[in-house]
Amino acid sequence: MTRLFNEPADFADEMIEGFVAANRAHVRRVQGGVVRSTRSAPGSVAVVIGGGSGHYPAFGGIVGQGLASGAAMGNLFASPSADQVHSVGTAANNGGGVLLSYGNYAGDVLNFNQAQARLNAEGIETRTVVVTDDVSSASVAEKAKRRGIAGDLTVFKAAAAAAEAGYSMDEVERVAILANERTRSFGVAFGGCTLPGADAPLFTVPEGRMAVGLGIHGEPGIGETDVPTADELAELFVSTLLKELPDGIDTVAGNRIGLILNGLGSVKYEELFVVYRRVAALLEDAGLEIIDPEVGELVTSFDMAGASLTLFWLDDELERFWRAPADTAAYRKGSVNPADQLDESEFHDAVAATAAVVPGSEASQQSAAVVQAALDALVAVIDDNADELGRIDAVAGDGDHGIGMQRGSHAAQSAARDALEAGAGVETLLAHAADAWADKAGGTSGALWGVALRAVGSALGDTDKPTTASVAAGAQAATDGIKTFGAQVGDKTMVDALVPFSETLAAEAAAGATLAAAWSTAADAATTAAAATADLLPKMGRARPHAEKSLGTPDAGAHSFGLIVHAIAAVLTAEEGEK
């Protein structure tokens, strides 16, 4: 378990602060993460990676010459926000554009895509290659849905070495896509990880058993088996990965491979070497030549007891990049020509400016006070249910929904209060709350609630007093915005509760109901729909590979939405009763 921490909510920020202080020859901190402290060739492509914290040396530990130009670092096991990715991308840009690369998780996709759109709109050419190496998380037919685990490193290194060699954006992107296509990984676990402040691991494995096919965020495996010997685990790793050859490779024998035998936290180097002894023999017996194998901790998950094997099928170009020198805080290979340190004045720290509050009308300011009370109620209900939300999420996901909702809602509450004291109307107050929630929470929930709050605020404005009809229009705008991310009713997501809420609110508004009455009726519909998600199989997000495990348990996002709208109903009812 994680023993050394101060406030759990501050762990990620304090970890990054200490990491930078210990590695100033390699990195500097910028808003949202870290960038190289050394000079890169002007006009070169910047490879910006990222994901949640808790996976050291991924992601900040592999920023430096020959590897990443920068890393966006989110909260523990939560994707960085779009603002964080945008900030790191801006700071890392050398004039040749930015290639974003990260593991294929829903929250990362949402936030990195938003950042990419912003960077391109600002004239910084930005493209993306997501990593999909985990063979356990989807079939060959749906390999684009696979998640990224330890194979992140092969893609990041190939792309970064190509950029270091002076390749154009088109060519760096081509190399990254090829590296991803030629990378396959498979992992196991003997026990889950425990986050700072938690009193139990995110998941457990029965004594004497091993979870098969796990993810790096604490997602449970897709199956279990008895704990094998080291040699038996090596045989499982190798036989699983040799069953699926990348496109363009017809036979095993005669090929060259890069290799990563990765420890996830508490399976240490000595054990890994025992396993690698048999892995190497099996691969060589199959006619493969192993090039520069990496055995150690490359992508961890706090103290998770587990390991994974990654095979990287090489051609001449990919072998050159796999062998290429690199010098980072946590990963070194060969010898680089030392680059000059950048002067502090040369760092482009894209700190997001807080928009000034333009006072709203008197009527909108009065309504903003009600919205603030609603946010206070929202925070209280999330705090009361955070542990339960984490438990629900851990059934088939990574168990961080409660923590993420707490981080986001508290940030929104604080930002909204500051805006209210400055005279904000409803739209401005909700815009400040939306930005704070999205930035502090990160992850899928951060992106979705940021979109939702901003959409509602835009519909209500800073001038008029909200009506049942305008609030219903805001709820519909929020629904439309969230659905653009791909989720539909029946996918077992927050959308399953949001759509009936929005539809019921609109129907009640059309029937002439007061806002409190209409909202209460809509909240009941949302709660009923959220409970019904227990009968659904997830089709999106981290829970999708473990679909059957989630039967009988509601979706955490839908459940938290139901709790929130019911808490707000009480505020609106009390407000209406005072008039």
> Rounded to 5 degrees, what angle do the CA atoms 33, 258, 297 make?
45
For 200, the 3-state DSSP assignment is: coil
Diameter of the chain by CA atoms?
Answer: 82
Buried b (16+ CB within 10 A) or exposed e, 194-219: bbbebeebbbebeeeebbbbbbbbbb
Q: Given the structure tokens 């709350």, which residue do they identify?
A: 433
How far, in Å, CA of 91 to CA of 33, rounded? 10
Pair of tokens at residue 551: 């039967």
Q: How far apart are the first and last CA of the chain?
A: 53
CA distances from 405 to 110, 287, 410, 468 (A): 17, 50, 8, 27
Backbone dihedral region for residue 359 (phi beyond 0: left; psi -120 to 50: alpha; all else: beta): beta
Asked if 488 and 499 count as a contact pair (C-beta separation under 8 A), the reply is no
∠ Cα 309 311 315 (to 5°):
165
CA nearest to 236, candidates 200, 275, 271, 272: 275
Query: Whole-angstrom Cα distance, residue 88 to residue 106?
Result: 20
Question: How far apart, in whole angstroms, are the C-alpha atoms of residue 162 and residue 251?
Answer: 27
Q: What angle do CA 52, 57, 59 make, to 5 degrees?
A: 40
Place of tokens 């707490």: 406
Find the catalytic residue in 217, 401, 410, 546: 217
217 is catalytic: yes
State whether the Cα torsion 369-370-373-374 is positive or negative.
Answer: negative
Backbone angles phi, psi at 225, to 5 degrees: -150, 165
Question: Of 45, 44, 128, whose CA–CA distance to 82 is shortest?
Answer: 128
Q: Beta strand 46-53 with 70-76: parallel, antiparallel or unpaired? A: parallel
**Reduced DSSP (H G I as helix, E B as strand, rest coil) percent helix, strand, coil of the chain, to 5:** 50, 15, 35
CA 121 from centre of chain = 23
Residue pair 492/531 in contact by the 8 Å Cβ criterion:
no
Query: Up-side HSE of residue 547: CA atoms within 13 Å toward CB?
Result: 13
**Catalytic residue numbers, as ranges:** 217
